[in-house]
Chain A
Amino acid sequence: GESVGLHLPTLSVQEGDNSIINCAYSNSASDYFIWYKQESGKGPQFIIDIRSNMDKRQGQRVTVLLNKTVKHLSLQIAATQPGDSAVYFCAEGLYGQNFVFGPGTRLSVLP
Chain B
Amino acid sequence: ETGVTQSPTHLIKTRGQQVTLRCSSQSGHNTVSWYQQALGQGPQFIFQYYREEENGRGNFPPRFSGLQFPNYSSELNVNALELDDSALYLCASSLDWEDTQYFGPGTRLTVL
Partner-B contacts on A (CB < 8 A): 2-8, 34, 36, 41-46, 49, 89, 91, 95-104
Neighbour of A6 across the interface among B4, B39, B90, B104, CB < 8 A: B39
B106: chain A residues at CB < 8 Å are 42-43
User: A97 contacts which chain B residues (CB < 8 A)?
Assistant: 56
Asked if B101 contacts A99 (CB within 8 A), the reply is yes
A residues less than 8 Å from B44 (CB atoms): 101
- Identify which of A7, A46, A49, A101 contacts B43 (C-beta below 8 A): A101
Which residues of A sit under 8 angstroms from B105, Cβ to Cβ? 41-43
The dominant DSSP class at the A interface is: loop
Contact A98–B102 (Cβ < 8 Å): no
B103 interfacial contact with A, CB 8 Å? yes
The interface residues of chain A lying within 8 Å CB-to-CB of B41 are 5, 103-104
Whether B48 sits at the interface, judged by CB under 8 Å, is yes
Contacting residue for A49 out of B4, B97, B100, CB 8 A: B100
